[in-house]
Amino acid sequence: MTSSPAAGLLTPVRGAALSLEGVTRTFGATTAIDAIDLTIPGGSLTAIVGPSGCGKSTLLRLLAGLEQPDGGRLLADGSDLTAAPLGTRDVAMVFQDYALFPHMSVAQNISFGLRLQRRHDRRNGPDTRYIATEVERMAELFGLGTLLSRRPHQLSGGQRQRVALARAVVRRPSLLLLDEPLSALDVALRASARAEILRLHRDLGATLVLVTHDQQEAMSMATELVVMERGRVVQAGHPTEVYRTPRTRFVAGFVGSPAMNLFPTADGGSLGWRPQDARIVDSGGVPEPPGLLIAGVVDVCEFTGSGQEVVCRAADGEVFTLVQHDGEPWLRPGDAIRGFVPGRALHRFRPDGTRIDD
Ligand code: ATP
């Protein structure tokens, strides 16, 4: 992706604030969404993460109106949307495979929603001049100016994604939903596409909700992170809050890369620490407690560019990971190491998985 949305081309909208109250969606015997209560702040960039099958896409489809809940209510800026017909909702969605119309040109794809509006309402709908101007505006915004007459199969993955975004944004929705928006892109494109979505969010002002498998991506982009497990929201908050204070053992293990080191405790609970929080200590200087002393033998080292990710094995067979930054000791397989994790970096969980606060 070479271009980026040009600032000033978008008239900002007011992002809708959403609330879900006891929203449930079942498919036969499967409860995909299990009595979810959730508030999505207006204008936020909310990322929904969780393991495969936890209900992320179903939740997004409920917000879009593509699925109807079996129970509960969905409110947008305080008004009940639960039964609102699809066409009346001020929402646009970009699908994982972009779902562009293959037989239409880029320009026709972008203008589709506006043309539909015009067909339904010739008197108050957009006129052809407005539609042409908007297509030009979107083409400039998303760097598609030279591609307007091409068909989707003549575009790269990144270009297709920009057409899908343009088709969604042209209607100035107050809620923009993105299902795995970056998964079809290669690593280099993902970085620029990420920046593009952040810029778009800033300039458009809409509430943006995205589903992603990539929790690192979610953490780096979101103003609000929603972690789901088996149809429920297990934690929602600013990414730093979720990362620093995971409310359950599941969230602790799911959010953060490499994953938190978690070990069973004698009472059936768990003790965890992040690979970034351990410091190698030499045999002479053992830091003062409170904290945890660790010891093991280096098994595998991975060079990450800015340092190393190191997998170690303790004497009792437990495996743990360390992150070593530039300037810290360079480790090799077979090295015996001792480390220290300060008390404030330890996370404790009860046998039922809930966090024990200090
Ligand atoms: P993934 O990350 O793999 O895309 P997800 O978190 O988006 O998964 P959903 O697609 O929302 O999960 O599915 C949640 C659960 O609901 C799964 O058990 C899935 O099999 C089930 N499910 C979703 N849609 C349907 C459907 N139309 N009919 C039957 N079951 C469904």
Inter-residue contact 209 to 48 (CB < 8 Å): yes
What was the pLDDT predicted at 149? 93
* Distance from C-alpha of 46 to C-alpha of 75, rounded to nearest angstrom: 16
Average pLDDT over residues 238-265: 96
Q: pTM score, two decimals?
A: 0.89
Average pLDDT over residues 185-204: 82
Place of tokens 């809930």: 354
Average pLDDT over residues 27-41: 96
The residues lining ligand 1, judged by C-beta closer than 6 Å to any ligand atom, are 27, 30, 32, 50, 52-58, 213
Lowest mean pLDDT among 23-37, 138-152, 330-344: 138-152
Q: Does the pLDDT of residue 12 top 80, yes or no?
A: no
What was the pLDDT predicted at 138? 86
Lowest mean pLDDT among 81-95, 155-169, 231-245: 81-95
Inter-residue contact 49 to 227 (CB < 8 Å): yes
Q: Name every residue whose Cβ is closer than 8 Å to that of residue 193 and which is 6 or more positions away in sequence.
A: 1, 158, 161, 181, 182, 185
pLDDT digits (tens, 9 = 90+) for 297-352: 999 999 998 899 999 999 999 999 999 988 888 999 999 999 999 999 999 999 99
Average pLDDT over residues 132-142: 87
Looking at ligand 1, which residue's alpha carbon is closest to its atom 30?
27
**Atom nearest to 55 CA in ligand 1:** 11
Looking at ligand 1, which residue's alpha carbon is closest to its atom 28?
27
Phi, psi (rounded to 5 degrees) for 39: -115, 130
Cα 161 to ligand 1 centroid, rounded to whole Å: 23
Residue type (1 letter), 76 = A
Alpha-helical regions (H) of 65-156: 106-120, 128-141
Inter-residue contact 201 to 47 (CB < 8 Å): no
Q: Does the pLDDT of residue 3 top 60, yes or no?
A: no
What was the pLDDT predicted at 277? 95
pLDDT digits (tens, 9 = 90+) for 54-111: 999 999 999 998 899 999 999 998 888 887 776 677 888 888 888 899 999 999 999 9
Band of the pLDDT at 240, cuts 50, 70, 90?
very high
Cα 104 to ligand 1 centroid, rounded to whole Å: 30
Cα 228 to ligand 1 centroid, rounded to whole Å: 13
- 197 or 85: which leads in pLDDT: 197
* Distance from C-alpha of 222 to C-alpha of 318, rounded to nearest angstrom: 34
What was the pLDDT predicted at 5? 44
Average pLDDT over residues 36-52: 96
Q: What percent of the chain has pLDDT over 70?
A: 95
Q: Does the pLDDT of residue 36 top 50, yes or no?
A: yes
Band of the pLDDT at 4, cuts 50, 70, 90?
very low
Q: Which residue from 24, 26, 30 has its CB within 8 A of the most atoms of ligand 1, so it is best to mutate?
A: 30
Q: Look up residue 80 and give its DSSP letter.
A: E
DSSP states of 258-307: SPPEEEE-TTS-EEEE-GGG-EE--SS-PPPSSEEEEEEEEEEEEE-SSE
Looking at ligand 1, which residue's alpha carbon is closest to its atom 27?
27
Inter-residue contact 11 to 174 (CB < 8 Å): no
Q: Which residue from 24, 49, 52, 57 has its CB within 8 A of the most atoms of ligand 1, so it is best to mutate?
A: 57
* Distance from C-alpha of 283 to C-alpha of 3, rounded to nearest angstrom: 54
Inter-residue contact 90 to 266 (CB < 8 Å): no
Looking at ligand 1, which residue's alpha carbon is closest to its atom 14?
55
43: left (phi over 0), alpha (psi -120 to 50) or beta: left
Band of the pLDDT at 229, cuts 50, 70, 90?
very high
Band of the pLDDT at 2, cuts 50, 70, 90?
very low
What was the pLDDT predicted at 184? 72
What was the pLDDT predicted at 265? 94
